[in-house]
Amino acid sequence: MLVMPEPDRVVLDRRAEIVAALQEIVPGEGVIDTERERRAYECDALTAYRQTPMVVVLPEDTRQVVAVLRYCKENGIKVVPRGAGTSLSGGALPLEDGVLLGMGKFKRILDIDAPNRCVVAQPGVTNLAISHAVQGQGLYYAPDPSSQIACTIGGNVAENSGGVHCLKYGLTTNNVIGVEFVTMDGEVIRLGGKFFDAGGYDLLGVLVGSEGLLGVVTEVTVRVLPTPPGARALLIGFPSVQGAGDCVAAVIGAGIIPGGMEIMDRLAIEAAEAFVHAGYPLDAEALLIVELDGCGAEVDHLIAAVEKIAAAHGATTVRASQSEEERLLFWAGRKAAFPAVGRISPDYLCMDGTIPRKEIGAVLLRMKQLEAKYGLRVANVFHAGDGNLHPLILYDANKPGELLRAEEFGRDILLLCVEVGGVLTGEHGVGVEKRDLMNAMFDAVDLEQQQRLKCAFDEQSLLNPGKVFPQLCRCAELGRMHVRGGKLPFPDLPRF
């Protein structure tokens, strides 16, 4: 059961007055007040949790964001930022007594600067639109979440999103070089820019991945890269998932970092093949897709090297794409894996843990045991290169109790990831979904240190509260130094 911060009655009682004040700041249709229209924002892509926001505000420029945040700060009103609402962890879940700040009107690309290999965009620009904007110059934006046609660059910054290419080209955090953001105090702060390595503390590094808790991003500068001249993919079938996992380790051990490297298990292969007819081997327990990119000479050289490694690891099928169409077909099944699974099950939960790759075999075995325990099936697709698992737990929300069982199953999978040395989330974020599991990975001191950072940005915890941390920040208490009788926790003077 998800518990959100207790709504502030005083704020709820002042609703009409608050709406009027916000309308002053964002005139016209920028303030959404009616119940029916507000409901369109009640959840993000984690649809299991829903809450109609108190009011929705759609500012058009930084000035309005500043004014909204100042007003909310002065009046003790909570704010939840939102991009396209594709978060899979409930990061953009509204609050009953909160303003939902939709950044959808920040849609402009402000500057395309090819000589400095960067693009400056407003946060509501979609991920794919950035690549499209520089396509003509032979450039692209590397992080490519599967949701890239819909998700916004602001949401990507907040979630530090990844994609199939991030083992080689990095996550959002490695490709964002500047931001403008507004603090809950209404201060406009710029970090980084078109230059390398902003001096001072790397606040850009913590803002990326902060899930909307530290500031509202109003402008983003991203690094763009030259589009690789070519790419080929290999489709490799294995009689066991362990074999596929070992092959991945061997490829990396041989010094090869593929552009993409994905594994699908039997259930995922079957679902995908039935859906897109990509020619996947139906006799395989695991399918490995390896994409190698670069100039022709390099790609052919590496394809041969990976084919050899695959054969040595007991691959039962090895096919190299012979044309661009075929390469895309190899990927089509993987890219459609989620909707394909949606065809074989009314509902599914998408999990997102990361494990040390060597544990893949053992973890999948344990998952099989959990399938029996919960009486639910799991289809697995994962970013094999970096050990990021996406187990899809199949369930039927119309059957009483199945959602709850699926959630418990999911929790067990994430705890298993932590147990083998991995983490709760590789790219989808903590949000509300994994919030209450944070204690499994971090102890109280670890979490307090993170929350103190939150206090430095937003002392009253008004920005996206109830997300990421199992307990609300208590800044006054966290800031206190407990010097008892002139001594700190370790009283004895060291003898060295």
Residue 23 binds which entry of ligand FAD, another protein, none, with Cβ cut-offs from 5 to 8 Å by kind? none
Cα separation of 196 and 245, whole Å?
Answer: 37
User: Of 98, 178, 212, 422, which lies in the binding site for ligand FAD, with binding defined by CB under 6 A?
Assistant: 212
State the nearest-atom distance from the C-beta of 188 to another protein, in Å: 7
What is the smallest separation between the CB atom of 395 and another protein, expressed in angstroms?
25
Q: Which residues contact 165 (CB under 8 A, 6 or more apart)?
A: 142, 143, 144, 259, 260
| Residue with smaller CB distance to another protein, 188 or 332 | 188
Q: Is 31 exposed, middle or buried (0-12, 13-18, 19+ CB in 10 A)?
A: buried
Mask for 115-154, x = binds ligand FAD (CB under 6 A) = --------x---------------------xxx---xx-x
Q: Tell me which of 119, 125, 203, 216 binds ligand FAD, using CB under 6 A.
A: 216
**Residue with the closest Cβ to ligand FAD?**
155
Shortest approach of another protein to residue 7 CB, angstroms? 26
Residue 220 Cβ, how far from ligand FAD at the closest point, in Å?
A: 8
Closest CA to 230 of 338, 86, 327, 98: 327
Please give the Cα distance from 131 to 114 (Å, whole number).
Answer: 12
CB nearer to ligand FAD: give 145 or 192: 145
Burial string for 478-496 (b: 16+ CB within 10 Å, else e) reads eeeeeeeeeeeeeeeeeee
Name the segment binding ligand FAD (CB under 6 A); options: 11-19, 208-216, 224-232, 245-253: 208-216
∠446-215-37 over CA atoms, to 5°? Answer: 115
* Residue count, binding to ligand FAD (CB under 6 A): 36
Is position 260 an interface residue for ligand FAD (rule: CB under 6 A)?
A: no
Cα within 13 Å of Cα(93), Cβ side:
24
Binding residues among 51-110 for ligand FAD as defined by CB under 6 A: 80-88, 91-92, 103
**Minimum distance, C-beta of residue 309 to ligand FAD, in the bound complex (Å):** 26
In this structure, the number of other CB atoms found within 10 A of the CB of residue 339 comes to 12
Query: Side by side, which strands form the sheet with 216-223?
Result: 109-113, 118-121, 216-223, 176-182, 188-192
159 scored as a contact of ligand FAD (CB under 6 A):
yes
Q: In what order do the strands lie in the sheet with 55-57?
A: 31-32, 55-57, 98-102, 78-82
- We find the least distance from the C-beta atom of residue 117 to another protein, in angstroms, to be 7
Residues 386 to 445: which contact ligand FAD by CB under 6 A? 427-428
